[in-house]
């Protein structure tokens, strides 16, 4: 039985106002980046579908029961959605591998992260958000004293537009829509045109629930559809994951109506390897930092800052380890890395290589299409040494499998180089001196940073987001959940 026979790969309807509806624009093929061939069909949304979803989501929030539904009942509904996600895990994994070209290991990693964060969001949704503030005694003109109090609570923000990227379509559909709905909002999801089927799978699951019509909607399409949705005054919040360039365009579209923008954008995250690092751990971190997801991850540590005393040993060990990894068919059990998403991404990665050579970097490994992989959008894992931090490769996000190795001589220099970036999303430090590593981590301007690989698994309470051009706001944990709410303060007299 082949992979496609295990899933639903053909959809001709969008999900709007609680039901599947035909698109006025018909369908378009879905491409497998590992083969360059079409394997499925997805509905193509346009202006008509965007306007219908906007009307449905607005009506569901303003007139429907969902915002006033007891928080435990909303959490119960989201738990039923999570149960369906677990039941259809194999379908989700298969679609990740077909649409995104991820290996089974990488798809499983994303699914596990999504499951962990959904469990946490449901847990947070059950908590009473009300907080009582200290009581005040205020003198009156007649010599008596007034007693008063106040409380703070949280309301759903309204209609949330969730725009998801191709590199984590299933994951981020869930991690945006589930907490937003659990908080009482209605949601419109616009997936990447490259990976619509993963979001349609979530719509399949939602259709089996008893949610009020309009609480969850899916509209596919390109940038034109995103602009229609993002600029419409009926949307109260845009939650977007993607590039900083598109993020700035979304802010411009949102500005006239002053809607909230929640943006998780690009990165050029540093991996700091001190002179006392465990070499095996450093190499494993290095591999994950640029080979995972074929480098198509916003927080991957592709900028590797290595103490010059061990830089040669690290580069040799990393090159040796990476050269043994199998690149190819995502469904083969021993494949470690699959393709890039499209030919344009492969060409962009090749362009980075050419420019790095022009700027004097040393090509250690890779730099071209792998031998024997003539179909699909494959690119070899590539390592450049002698990269200067201020170079084009040192400063710009590739979104492809290129490691840029930059040398340093002191811890102070390493921190300075780490912060010499327009981005501030992720980061990592490898050192046997955990205390010094912590002091350095406190000085790095980034949204999250791990020491020696972190806690060993997904920490469900950790907020995710970045500084500078890496975005606005946070996802995951309590901070991420609260992004989908408004704060309300209520004051009152507490006595005569």
Which of 118, 261, 298, 353 is catalytic? The answer is 298
Four-residue CA torsion sign, 278, 397, 106, 466: positive
pLDDT at residue 78, rounded to an integer: 98
Identify the segments of the chain with pLDDT beneath 50. Answer: 1
Which of 49, 264, 380, 397 is catalytic? The answer is 264
Q: Are residues 48 and 91 in the same domain?
A: yes
CATH code for the domain in which residue 281 is found: 3.40.309.10
pTM of the model: 0.95
Render pLDDT for 49-94 as a digit per residue (tens, 0 to 9): 999 999 999 999 999 999 999 999 999 999 999 999 999 999 999 9
Please count the structural domains in the chain. 2
Report how far Cα 287 is from the mean position of its chain's Cα atoms. 20
Q: Are residues 259 and 276 in the same domain?
A: no
CATH code for the domain in which residue 116 is found: 3.40.605.10
Q: Are residues 179 and 291 in the same domain?
A: no
CB count within 10 Å of CB 77 equals 23
| Catalytic residue status for 298 | yes
pLDDT at residue 266, rounded to an integer: 94
Domain with 162, as residue range(s), is 4-265+473-489
Q: Is residue 468 part of a domain?
A: no
pLDDT at residue 1, rounded to an integer: 47
| Catalytic residue status for 390 | no
Round to whole Å and give the CA distance between 377 and 399: 13
Q: Is residue 117 part of a domain?
A: yes
pLDDT at residue 5, rounded to an integer: 75
Q: Are residues 294 and 237 in the same domain?
A: no
* Residue partners of 381: CB distance under 8 A and separation at least 6: 290, 291, 322, 325, 327, 337, 365, 366, 401, 403
Q: Is residue 465 part of a domain?
A: no
């Amino acid at each position: 039985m082949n992979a496609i026979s295990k899933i639903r790969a053909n959809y001709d309807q969008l999900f709007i106002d609680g039901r599947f509806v035909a698109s006025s624009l018909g369908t378009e093929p879905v491409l497998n980046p590992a083969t360059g061939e079409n394997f499925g069909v997805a509905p193509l949304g346009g202006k008509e579908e965007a306007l219908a979803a906007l009307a449905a989501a607005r009506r569901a929030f303003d007139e429907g029961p969902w915002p006033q539904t007891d928080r435990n009942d909303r959490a119960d509904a989201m738990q039923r959605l999570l149960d369906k996600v677990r039941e259809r895990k194999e379908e989700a994994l298969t679609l990740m591998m077909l649409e995104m070209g991820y290996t089974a290991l990488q798809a499983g990693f994303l699914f596990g992260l999504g499951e962990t964060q959904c469990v946490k969001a449901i847990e947070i949704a059950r908590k009473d958000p009300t907080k009582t503030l200290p009581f005040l005694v205020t003198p009156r003109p007649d010599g008596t004293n007034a007693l008063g109090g106040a409380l703070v609570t949280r309301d759903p923000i309204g209609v949330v537009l969730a725009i998801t990227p191709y590199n984590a379509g299933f994951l981020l559909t869930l991690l945006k829509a589930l907490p937003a709905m659990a908080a009482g909002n209605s949601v419109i999801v616009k997936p990447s045109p490259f990976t619509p089927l993963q979001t349609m799978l979530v719509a399949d699951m939602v259709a089996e629930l008893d949610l009020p019509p309009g609480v969850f909607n899916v509209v596919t399409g390109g940038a034109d559809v995103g602009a229609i949705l993002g600029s419409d005054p009926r949307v109260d919040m845009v939650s977007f994951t993607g590039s900083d360039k598109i993020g700035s365009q979304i802010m411009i579209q949102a500005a006239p109506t002053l809607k909230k923008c929640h943006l998780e954008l690009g990165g050029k995250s540093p991996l700091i390897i001190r002179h006392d690092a465990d070499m095996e751990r450093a190499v494993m971190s290095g591999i994950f930092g640029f080979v995972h997801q074929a480098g198509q991850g916003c927080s991957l540590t592709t900028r590797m800052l290595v103490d010059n005393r061990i830089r040669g040993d690290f580069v040799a060990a990393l090159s040796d380890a990476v050269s043994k990894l199998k690149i190819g068919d995502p469904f083969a059990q021993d494949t470690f890395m699959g393709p890039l998403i499209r030919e344009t991404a492969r060409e962009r990665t090749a362009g980075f290589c050419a420019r790095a050579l022009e700027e004097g970097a040393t090509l250690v490994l890779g730099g071209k299409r792998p031998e024997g992989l003539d179909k699909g959008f494959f690119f070899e894992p590539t390592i450049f040494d002698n990269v200067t931090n201020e170079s084009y490769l040192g400063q710009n996000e590739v979104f492809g499998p290129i490691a840029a190795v930059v040398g340093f001589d002191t811890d102070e220099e390493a921190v300075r180089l780490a912060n010499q970036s327009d981005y501030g999303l992720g980061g990592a430090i490898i050192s046997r001196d955990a205390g010094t590593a912590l002091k350095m981590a406190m000085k790095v301007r980034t949204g999250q940073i791990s020491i020696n690989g972190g806690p060993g698994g997904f920490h469900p309470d950790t907020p995710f987001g970045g500084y500078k051009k890496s975005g606005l706001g946070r996802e995951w944990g309590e901070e991420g959940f609260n992004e989908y709410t408004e704060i309300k303060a209520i004051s009152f007299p507490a006595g005569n």
